[in-house]
Structure 1
Amino acid sequence: MSATSSFDPRHPLKSLTIPRDALRPPSADNPRLGATLSLLAHAGLIAALALSVQWHTEDPAGVEAELWAAVPEIAAPRAQAPEPAPEVAPPPPPKAVTPPQPTAAEREAEIAIEMAKQEKLEKERQEALDQKAREKRQRDEKARKEQLQKDAEKERLDREKAEAKEREKDKLAQQKQEQAAAAAREKARQDQLRRMNEQLGGNGAPTSTGTAARDAGPSANYAGRIKARIQPNIQLLFEVPGNPQAEVRITVMPDGTITKWEITKSSGVKEWDDAVLRAVEKTGVLPRDENGRVPSPMVITFSPRPRT
């Protein structure tokens, strides 16, 4: 630092002002001095190049240079290389310890323990095999029972089907027999009727084209006989005015038993209609016609007085 500079802590930039004459280079009035300095500079450069090729054989020497700065600074302390750690000797290898040899009793005990373990393992293995065998037998027995049940069910169904077919066959045969018997009875009846007609002859008109011995309708006086059977059962507590007429439809069985009766045409007098119905119910049975039959149904008219 130049002796002419001064440092003022209150004005740091102002105190660092350098005089202009201090920065001006010196005058080169002597040329020899310049040439000498140039040769010395080149010789130093050549020497430096010669020394620089030996970097791989020698460590370059440290060079210290003092630098001048406009602002004075204090350098930090030089870093110190860490001290090498002291080498620690490896621990000696452990000495081999020879295990104590077992005695004969201990060997026998170990052998017995090992045999007991083997026996236990063999026993467990045998028990596992036995368990598997039992389970297999149970599965086989269950499957056999299920198969027997299936076979029994199939046999039952087959037997029921066979029995149903047999019953159907017997039913058809019975129906055929009944039909044949009915046909035989009808044929015998027709033959009997034909023989009776041939023996007795018909009672129809000469111009009749029928083949029966008698007409199917009732005889001429049959209605009168019916009315004569029912009329006495008509009971009234008072005389019915006028001459009301009630038509009654009567249904009977072949033996003459009355099964149904109803008014088909009212007389207009309810008392008379009810009295006629009660009389029919009280009569119960009608007489047969001349041909031994009772026609059904029949419609008969009842009135308090005979028609004139």
Structure 2
Amino acid sequence: MIDRRTSPPQQARPRSARPARPPRERGTGKAFALAAVMHLLLGWLLYHGINWQNNTPAGAEAEIWTDIPDMSTPTPRPAPPPPAPVKVQPAPPPAKDEEADIALQEKKRKQQEAAAREAQLAEQRRQQEARDEAEAKRQQQLAAQAAAAAAAQKAMQDKQKQIEKQRQADLQKQQQQQKAQQEKERQEQQAEAQKAEQLKEQKEAKEAKAKADAQAKAKADADAKAKAAAKAKADAEAKAKVDQERKARLAQLQGQLGGGTASSGEGLAKSGTGRGAGGNATSPGYAEKVQRRVRPNIVWAGETAGLETVVSVRCSPSGTLLSASISRSSGNEQWDQAALRAVQRSDPMPVDTDGKAPDHFTITLRPAGG
């Protein structure tokens, strides 16, 4: 058989060259050697089958024995019967030998034909086995090629699946990144919008506060002006009343022989000290009353060394503060104003033991620690 799958490719020959010989079949030498061995074996069998009974059979030989008399005993024995005659088989006639040779030769011929048929069948079986083996090898090679092709196709499919899987993963990752970027931009826009809204609210609140402060300041200024006008009016009325009372008292004092002596008192105020002297006669404890009234109203957080302010006060008999002014400055305008505000916040002034407040007196104030 010609193995076309393993035969080498034929090279192209020029037209002038002789035609190419067909490729030599594989296994031809083995086939010829096996055929020669089978023919030799068949010849040997034929030779020995013909000659193994070709020799003339040897004749049969027979020996006749008689009993030897015992010479040791004198007693005579009776004579043995005569031996039976031996029949000698005559040789077979020549005609029968020829028939035996013919039968033997026929038998040998049949044996040779049977051996030849057996050898032919064996050769056919061998060739069939060789063909079956070659076909099995071809089928194995085809199966191996099919398996290799299937494995290659499966590997390609697996690779394509892996590529598709990687592509899907990359696409999903890209989508997630885009989504995260969009979410980040949305949060930034939302934060900017919130910041703008907060700035707007702060601006509106600031404007509203400024407007409210302006309104409050305008109202405070108006109230201050109204209060100042009312106070000026009250001061004028109180001054007129005080003048009238003074005139009345002076007239009363002129008719009397005795006079009053002034008294003085000292007191401490919050964040400062005070000393007051009444223009009219007062009880010894009145200065302490003024101290307790003015002390909580002093508010000062500045320097304290060397500051002393004298405030002149005028009151009605009920203690209502008619006026308060700086009669001697400390040289620090802020402290002077703090001392003046403390006296103004102390309105009304305490009354004395007789149920009336002095009409005028002075208070000396110093910061705490001054």
What TM-score does the superposition give when structure 1 sets the normalisation length? 0.36
Name the one with the larger helix percent.
2
